[in-house]
Amino acid sequence: MEITLDKAEFTKSITRIQGIVERKNTMPVLANCLIKAGKNGIQVMATDLDVTIIDSCPAKLKKSGPAGGGICLNAKKLYEIFRELEEGEVALTETESYKVELKTQSRDAGFVCELQGINPEEFPVLPKEEGFQFFELEPELLTEMITKTIYCSATEEGRFVLSGIFMEKLENEWLRFVATDGHRMAVIDREVAGSKELVFDKGVILPKKGMSELVKLFSAQEAEKGKIKLGVKDNHLVVKTENTIIFMRLVDGEFPEYKRVIPEDNPIKVNLERDHFLKSLRLASVMVDEKARSVKLNFSKGKLLIEGKHPTYGRAEGECPCDYQGQKVEVGFNDRYLFDILTSVGAGKITMEIKDELSPVLFRTETDTKYLCVVMPMRI
């Protein structure tokens, strides 16, 4: 194979796959990407067997390789090389079996590099988009639903059914995303035209890594504009943009009955300005214990006092006004859980609905009635 690439365009493609390539050497082939000639250039492919990215990149194909073949090269090393190159064209030529030469020529200096690859036949067989029923949606909408829930998904190994986002179809083309780690939960509903095309019954669990890669793809500075396509078939979800396809294997298992966790009729309701709440929380958190991460929220008439204590260094307090006129209430929380909620909701008013110091606390926002968070308090 002999191709000519634009440095900037290929750098975009090789950057998009960096979060996918496997570097732990459990399967050395997964540290590589597969480069194949496509319809209008080349396709750059990477997989960790759960998440697969296929990115299209413009290129001038001067000589094709064996039918169905390609070039399989270390993805991290390719990224490091192209990151350092000057803007312009780069010639990539297969000189021997599984070995390529990268060559540039500029006014100041040229660059030549030989990079050893592996047999492309060792690369895993990748999923295909045939058979998926797609519908279109705005990437901003999907990004919002992911970012407002993903922080609640579990990170511990062994809790695989909680290590993702549960996607459920509601009536009248509404979709619901839910994530929980057993200590907190976030639920968001959005109307998504065309979502009736999704084919599943009880909902599916979307993998956390795949969702994170989607957010990175959509938020990249060079991200493509326009609608994306989404489809589900069997145990895979696929998302297509104009130049990129992401496949992800759905998490196998049954998501817990999350609706039973959402508290109802909590008698104590406190309204707070998000920005004031966040500032006071930051002040108190400078003195929290790094392991426990606990802060105490003391509610009294018109005032919230947030206290952080450290067994060695002392204590700190942050104070802010609140719309509350009841009796004094004290509730303890992991400060990271509060930071995550306040960061995700943006500016505006927050309502905390409290039953007592040990029952789940419900967080709502004034501007978004279709988004809520539930957090278990800490015993302090």
Residue identified by tokens 């190159």 is 85
The DSSP secondary-structure symbol of 146 reads: H
Categorize the per-residue pLDDT at 346 as very low, low, confident or very high, splitting at 50, 70 and 90.
confident
End-to-end CA distance of the chain: 65
**CB neighbours of 260 closer than 8 A, spacing ≥ 6?**
none
Average pLDDT over residues 46-62: 93
Give the length of the chain: 380
Percent of the chain surpassing pLDDT 70: 96
CB contact at 8 A, 260 and 283: no
The DSSP secondary-structure symbol of 192 reads: -
Phi-psi region of 75 (alpha: psi -120 to 50; beta: other; left: phi over 0): alpha
Q: Is residue 299 in some structural domain?
A: yes
CB contact at 8 A, 304 and 322: yes
Q: Look up residue 183 and give its two tokens.
A: 């200590």
Q: Is residue 140 in some structural domain?
A: yes
Residues 296 and 235 in one domain: no
Rg of the chain over Cα atoms, rounded to whole angstroms, equals 25
- Asked if residue 223 has pLDDT above 80, the reply is no
Average pLDDT over residues 60-84: 85
Residues 145 and 218 in one domain: yes
CB contact at 8 A, 251 and 163: yes
Q: List the domain range (segments joined by +) for residue 159.
A: 135-255
- Asked if residue 77 has pLDDT above 90, the reply is yes
CA–CA separation, 322 and 324 (whole Å): 6
Report the chain's mean pLDDT, rounded to a whole number: 92
**Tens of pLDDT along 78-92?**
999 999 998 999 999
Q: What is the pLDDT of residue 65?
A: 65
Residues 9 and 107 in one domain: yes
Categorize the per-residue pLDDT at 201 as very low, low, confident or very high, splitting at 50, 70 and 90.
confident
Categorize the per-residue pLDDT at 266 as very low, low, confident or very high, splitting at 50, 70 and 90.
very high
Q: In the beta sheet, which residues pair with residue 49?
A: none
Percent of the chain surpassing pLDDT 90: 77
Residue identified by tokens 């975009």 is 12
Q: Is residue 203 in some structural domain?
A: yes
Q: What is the pLDDT of residue 106?
A: 67
pTM over 0.85: yes
Task: Provide the domain count of the chain.
Answer: 3
- Asked if residue 197 has pLDDT above 90, the reply is no
